[in-house]
Amino acid sequence: MKLKNLFIIIIIFSTKAEAQTSALAMADSLYAVGDYSGAIQELEKVNSQSEAVLLKLAQAHKAQGNPAAALSYYKTVLEVNPKKLLTAVAYARLLSSTGKLEQADSIFQELVKKYPMNANFHYQLGLVKEQRKDSTAIKHYNITVLLQKHHQQALSKVAKSELVHGKLMRAERLSKQGLEFNPANKTLLSILAQAYYFQKEYKLAIEEFEKLVDLGAGSEFIHRRLGTAYFYLEDYDSALEHFNKALHYGPQNHSTHYSLGKLYALKGEYKNSEVHLLEAILLKDVLLDEEFTSLGLTYKLSKKPKQALTYFNRALEENPDNERAMFERAIAADSYYEDLETRMNYYQAYLDRFGEYGNPQLIRLAGQRIKDIREEMHLEPATSGEQ
């Protein structure tokens, strides 16, 4: 070959190489700024479809929202070089996200067999198993935690599972384990707070729920839990504060209005109690006997026996087996009616209904009141003390 021809060949190859290098550089630049279509066009200009180019094409198509094309490129690379670990992981994760769970499961199963000490492979397999409703998912999450004790996502999965199944001590321990590494993990803070809450450790629960609020994660659920915890600690002002905050998130929540109604009654703010209990009644579309009973008690404490009677009667219309409503109705009638026989008949109605299986203390009080009224009516002579 003449020297001149050799130089020409070298120049041609150099020009092509430079053009391909330029196309790859342009593709990288376009990809970096989010112009995925442009990046794909530049990559397709490259004649040599090397593994590197195919992978860039896969990534660009994936980013563009064309998973079918991305999967095709990943598959081509793995057919040529099955040992490309990161490519296999990317391929399996994309299969999973596009609903091709059986294929993704198969790939991660192989990866777990080859690399049993790789925590992430167990975690990814757990995610696929969970999507497939396969109960062995939790096994892989547990293995992940054993291999990597501070793996945040796996700890969240396992701790939540323990919380749901009532294993509160383990849920608490796992949450703390993760929070040692990342004290701002909102999921683990929530699980820890709930574990304390269900163990009736209300002060500890409040501390963790308050951390969530400080992190900007306040919600109807969190403020309702805080309200209930403060209620059990008899801090009614704080309980009211949080139930009112919960109301901002869910103004139509029947339970929040009901809780506020009961709390305001405890504090003697009967007008506020009435407002929220009436709202709770309007919002609830099933049995309302508890709400009507609470409203009746509010009117009773407000010394409004007529209104109290009305709502105790409505509670009994909703649920004739509401013992407290029937007993409180008798007390309200005792305050409202002047006629002694009418008053006595309400207590007798309570005893007729619940005398055999009701609350022993209420039965005793009703019986004593009937005796007192009979004495007042001179139907039963007062005891003289003589035998």
The number of domains in the chain is 1
More confident residue, 33 or 362: 362
pLDDT at 9: 38
Does residue 170 belong to any structural domain of this protein?
yes
Contact 67, 87 (CB under 8 A): no
Task: Please state the rounded mean pLDDT for residues 38-53.
Answer: 75
Query: 6-10, 156-160, 173-177, 222-226: which has the minimum mean pLDDT?
Result: 6-10
Give mean pLDDT, residues 44-71. Answer: 81
Residue 88 lies in a domain: no
Confidence at 279, pLDDT banded by 50, 70, 90: very high
User: Phi and psi at residue 219, in whole multiples of 5°?
Assistant: -155, 170
Residue 81, pLDDT > 60, answer yes
Q: What pLDDT band is residue 74 in, cutting at 50, 70 and 90?
A: confident
Asked if residue 167 belongs to a domain, the reply is yes
**Is 334 domain-assigned?**
no
Helices (H), 132-201: 137-147, 152-164, 168-181, 186-198
- Residue 188: give the domain boundaries: 149-199
Domain-embedded: residue 177: yes
Contact 312, 296 (CB under 8 A): yes
Q: Return the percentage of the chain with pLDDT > 90, whole number.
A: 66
Q: Model confidence at 18, in pLDDT bands (50, 70, 90)?
A: very low
User: What are the residues whose beta carbons fall under 8 Å from the beta carbon of 372, sequence distance 6 or more?
Assistant: none
pLDDT at 28: 73
Asked if pLDDT for residue 19 goes beyond 80, the answer is no
Q: Is residue 227 part of a domain?
A: no
Is residue 39 assigned to a domain? no
Comparing 83 with 176, which gets the higher pLDDT?
176
Q: Are 185 and 152 contacting, i.e. CB atoms less than 8 angstroms apart?
A: yes
- E strand or H helix that includes residue 182: none
**169 domain residue, yes or no:** yes
- Band of residue 54 on the pLDDT scale cut at 50, 70, 90: confident
